[in-house]
Structure 1
Amino acid sequence: MPELGALIRQLQSQFVRSAEPHRVFDALLPELLRLGESEYGFIAEVWRQPDGTPYLKIFTLSNIAWDAASREQVERQRVDGMEFHNLKTLFGAALVTGETVIANDAPNDPRRGGGLPQGHQALNTFLGVPLHYGSELVGMIGLANRRPGYDHALLDALDPLFQSMAGIIASVQLDRQRRAAESALRASEERWRHSFEMAGAGIAQTGADGRLLEVNARFCEIVGRSRDELLAGSFRELTHPDDLADDEDLLRRLVAGQVLRENREKRYLRPDGTTLWVQLTVTAVFDALGRFQHTVTVALDIDQRRRAEAALQEREALFTKLADRVPGVLLQFNVDAQGVARVPYASRGLRELFELDPDGAVRDDARLMIERVAKGQRKRVWETLERAGQRLEPWAIEFEVDLPSRGRRAVEAQGSPERLPDGSTTWHGYIRDITDRKQADAALMNAQAAARANEAKTEFLSRMSHELRTPLNAVLGFTQLLLGDPSAPLQDGQRARLGHIERAGQHLLAMIGDVLDLSRIETGSLPLQPQPVGLSALVSESFALVLPTAHASGVTLIRRGPGDLHVTADPMRLRQVLVNLLSNAVKYNRSGGQVVVETEGIDEHTVRIAVTDTGMGMTPAQQLHLFEPFNRLGAERSSIEGTGLGLAITLRLVELMDGRISVHSQPGSGSTFHVELRRAPAPPGTPAATGQTVPDPSMPAASDSAPHSVLYAEDNRLNIELVQQLLLLRSGCELRVAYTGREAIESARRTPPDLLLIDMHLGDMTGLEVLDALRDDAALAQVPRIALSADAQPQVVRAARERGFDEYLTKPVDVAELLRCLDRHLSIRRAAR
């Protein structure tokens, strides 16, 4: 076909000149029908649905004698193109397969899915030619009713035309894409300009040699140069050296037509040496003959975005660093609509807390985490998680995990759920190890329980002491009155029997004191006042207290050592220690035996007190249990009295005073107890005694004082009668009794007494409350106030003195001590009159 070349040239020339492709194909279709000896046909472009399904948009279509309405519709759609979507046709077979379809028996061809529209000309033979540009299906030609039928010879003859048509259609598509891209680019530029004001798009035209042909004001602003400067140079002077090679390669490919447009990010160098990141859309522009003209570069200033991205990356790195160093695990836990659980993110703490790799399989299978939960707790954990997810409520729970290496650990989990568009739920949460806290809580609970038990025990012992001391007050008080009343002499037998009663009462009182001391030591509530104590005076006082018992037992007390040694100790408690040791040394000695107390300075830091007896001694087995409370090592079966608490208290007191005690003993050879304490410097002047005087066991003589009034607030009638009997030993003492605190206050205000004697536990109020009520009464300001109570707790005694009591005497009352106290304070009142 010689005329085919001319037709192709005409076609290309018309395409270049025409802005409307269907006009070109309108002129081509008749020639194509003539060359193909066909009655009618069409030329169409291939378009695709969003899902990739192809359909035809007609460039031109033969007049196939449809009815007027159909023809009008075809004409109306010529510009935009009439669309054919039915693929169950002969042209549909070519469109789907991309292969040429020759149907020389069209009515019976199995590829034909249906009949023709009403009024359509008969279809006897059909040729469907898909037009490919490269590997892309871009268009299709349909010819119909060639009388001999269609064959490959015709296809081969028309193939150059078909190829030219494919190129034209591809160019149409490319041009459409270019125009759409340019339109989108313009819209994008407008959006950027509108959104960021001066941060709009810069536009530049670049020639094939890289020289800048045209720039706009925004481009000048972006690169920091004037328009004249830019047009005198090329893009190379603006480009960062690290980006130049990529830019050169892109320009080469654009000029060669290998690529029509490309988006990329690069760096511009500004005159001040700074670098600016931009996003470029570079489009190649060709003339109608396909010759390269220039590129259009649209530059957007994305420097802030890139800096923000760099800052974001830095923050992400910081977050990762923090998350990896926070004790516990930060994580996201996702459950999809099918119930499949994953861990999209977990910090490195997962390795320690669950012994799992946060970047491993747990990302896609959270069962690996769930399997770490203790078996009996998995259901509870999962149910609470599901419930929180359904309600979108915060989730918090404590549970235990079993780890391969670290065993069972307690953990606490917290999370906030978020419902995602895909129906899944993600918990943003935190899990931490609370094993130490749980153990501490358990220890605290145990300590609190122990403290409550100690408080209960202390309260019980306090009540027991009070309840026992009250009747003992009458027993010992009346016994002492009978023994010391000169107006009613006793026979020897009576005095001996009363002596037994007094000793038994004193023994019971000592037992109460020992039990309370041990309890206070065990609960840490025994107050100590460490100070320099002279041992010479303290040993003398202790000897005086034990001497009566030693004489009665036929035991000699001996002291050895220098007289200037001092130790750091509580004087009262150290005397208690020494008296306990001396008492035991006397009790467990033999008649005619000895007790030796020897003091010596071991070195410049330590002083030793040795108490040696000549008694029965102890076996090694007995010594192992020597300091156990209530263990008398078999002596409970003898006639020797004791509680089994003395040495236990002694040991603890010595340790509380930062000392130590030891024993050396052999059966039949006696025992030696060593007490070692910190040495203290001797105070200036005469070595001080302990500040305690040894009570005189005899009854004080009657005073010649003038009559005095004593107001006694007491609700126990036996105690009242005891004090009444005691004051009979003091002529001129008038006793007034108040049975309640209110009565005491009213009586004192009505007739101020010379001395107030107040019990600490009255029926309606405490002794402290009585004292507070009388504190501001000027008439009672100089009246001595003496507390007399069965409550011997140190904190109670201390509180009473701090609140204004001049003396605090404990029950059972020592008759001689009470008389001396009364004499002392009443004599002061007498001198003040």
Structure 2
Amino acid sequence: MQAPDQPANEARRLQALRNLRVLDTPAEESLDHLTELARELFGVPVALVSLVDENRQWFKAKAGLDVSETGRDVSFCGHAVAANDALVVTDTHTDPRFADNPLVQDAPHIRFYAGHPLRPLDNMPVGTLCLIDYRPRSFSDRERRLLAGLAGQAEALLRETRLTAEMTYTAKRFETIFFTSATAKIRIDRHGRIIAINPFALNLLGYEEADVVGHNVAMLAPPDIRPHHDGYIDRYLAGHEPRVIGKGREVDAMHKDGHLIPVHLAVNAIHDDNGQVDEFLGVLTDLSEIQAANRRTQKEQELLSVLHQGITDYQALMSGKKLWSFLMEALRDLTNSDYALIGEVLHGNEGNALKIHAITDLSWNAASRRLMEQLRSGDMTLSRADTLLGRVFAHGEVVMTDDLYHHPKRGGFPPGHPRIDNYLGVPIYSGNDLIGMYAIANSHQAPDEALLEWLAPFTATCALLINLYRQMAERDRNLEDLALANDQAQRANRAKSEFLSSMSHELRTPLNAILGFAQLLASGRRNPLSDKQTRQVGQIEKSGQHLLSLINEVLDLAKIESGRMTLSLESMSLAHVMEDVCQTLEPNADASGIRILFTPPPPEWQIHADYTRVKQVLFNLISNAIKYNRADGQVAVSATEHDDALCISIADTGPGIAEHRQHELFEPFNRLDAENGAVEGTGIGLAITRELAERMDGSMGVESTPGEGSTFWFTLPRSYRASTADSGDDTRQPAGDFQQQTLIYVEDNPANQRLMEDIIDDVDGLSLRIAPSAEMGLEMLRTTTAAVIIMDIHLPGMDGYEALAALRRDPVLAHLPVIALSASATPRDINRALDAGFNDYLTKPLEIVKLMETLERYVVT
């Protein structure tokens, strides 16, 4: 036996069958008549409307057969559905697909089958109209067409059955939604009459169904709206822009007993099959609880707003002497009271007194007005403990009454005093300390425990503000002292910065000439020096560089202290940077008779740090190890792993440092008594070195034994990325040849002028013109075609910034590159110049290689 194949679109086919909504439903008379007609028409004993689902074929209509379903695996109709085409089997015994089918071999012994697929929805075959006979027979083309026509009728009847089921389902849903809904719903006809109303609406509005059905819906609207109600419907039906229908809005509905109910009204028009408005459906949502909650929320927000403003704007309110009046008026608004006061409790030997900070005017004559002014100004305090106020500020009691004139603790009111009907007095505590009170009178809501509890946050805020008020005088004194100390510190810091800047400029200016001419003499190609002269010039340059390093150390310390030290952190090879520094310092060590024992770390060890600053740290530590060593000593440089860091150690064979003095090593300007020795230094190198290590997320320390030597170590974070640091190779490259270009140098210092002349004299194709002032430089530019300008900042008369501004305003000269050259070398000076519009910035002492590199960027070669 061959089971039916499963169609490729089986999922869609089954969904169409489910959408038909006829599986396992009662028999339909129309479909039963159709199968009877088919049986009579074709003269067969059995005719079926068969629907094929996942596992079976189920008979929606059957004529001549008692069973209602069979398995899909033995069904003939499954083959017609799989092929989505008519299936005719004239003799099952001769058809190998069905010869051994149980329905052929056993009852009902099918010998003939003809089935046409049914596609009532989405053109998906969900079953067949089929004919069955118990004897073989032929089936003509005419009979095939007749079967197809009857199948079309079956499809139409199936669609009609589905539509009827949907309408029944929709009607039941509508009835359920309408009558059992927890929302008020009203059906209204085109004339405004109520057709139906659900129980929820009746309960909301207080009516019985008979009271409203058949009546105009306007009866449910407030009196001022009723006359216009029918006009809303008429205008909508006439095609005008709707005001309520289809929009929804908040309105008031009239309860049967006459009170108004806030509701949200949504009215929808319901159209018939012709598109005409048939009726309207009104949906009312009770907003009573929402509006009550909104009112409560609004009151809470008002309270929170007062508390927030009182705390956040405390300084402004207090400085303007408005805090207490602000709190008093806020208390009146929050409680809807006519009168209020707020005051501070003063403790004395004879008991508590009340200093009133704010009070509503209760005066009724001239004498009472003077009394109110005294109370407001704080010149007068209240001390009687037997009054309603006294019960609060003297005894810390809460006093509340809504019948003041019959209260047992009430004192008398003088003639003319405004009437007071209710009263609430509340003590203000800070811990167990009574520090103040407030009171309200003639509140529009009776004072009770609920009001007292609601005001608890206000009471707590008042406690906080009174404490702050009491601390204000002391705080002001402290602020004055702090301001004075801060002014002194700022003046000292400015003086230090000005001193450092001035020192840097004044020292760098002569160093520019010293180092510049030393470099020229050492590298002179036209007049080379003798070996002795080369050594002498080298000593000049070495001493100048030492002096420059001392200046840089002081400036580095200033940067660190001011927080202006910037770092460029990247991954780099530890071995490379250690080897670089050791090779640089090896001549120094040889000159001092010291051996450097460098143990290279594995090449794969990487650190995450600033390359230049790592070199500076190593340079400082190894230089110190060389300087503070014994004759024929040694310096061991090595590295070890330490968790996620690498530890670099520099061990010397010097005199060592006593443990009780080791902490002094890192104090700026402390040289541990070495200032009287032969070794030069500022005493700030180690302080800078440790700061640099810590700024790179590392640490630094020392281990030392007197007489045996010291080991300085520092750690840096380990990196597992490929090294990206620059190798630090500063091998000098010869300057390129310039094609007859002119450089204008604006400089007033003769030594610096001569230095620049000697430098440019060795450069082919570049001529130099010097202007001793900015004014002369600008005049020179108007008659000379220049490729680039190098300008000193500190010039007599017009300074470099003014000269730059004049250049940039001149349309002919504005494009020229201008390079600043100054002895002012702080980051602030450099950033200021670049922000002003200089193209680049060079510092004195001038590095000739850097000068050449800079010129090559701006002068066409």
TM-score for both structures, normalised by structure 1:
0.47
Please say which structure displays the higher CA radius of gyration.
1
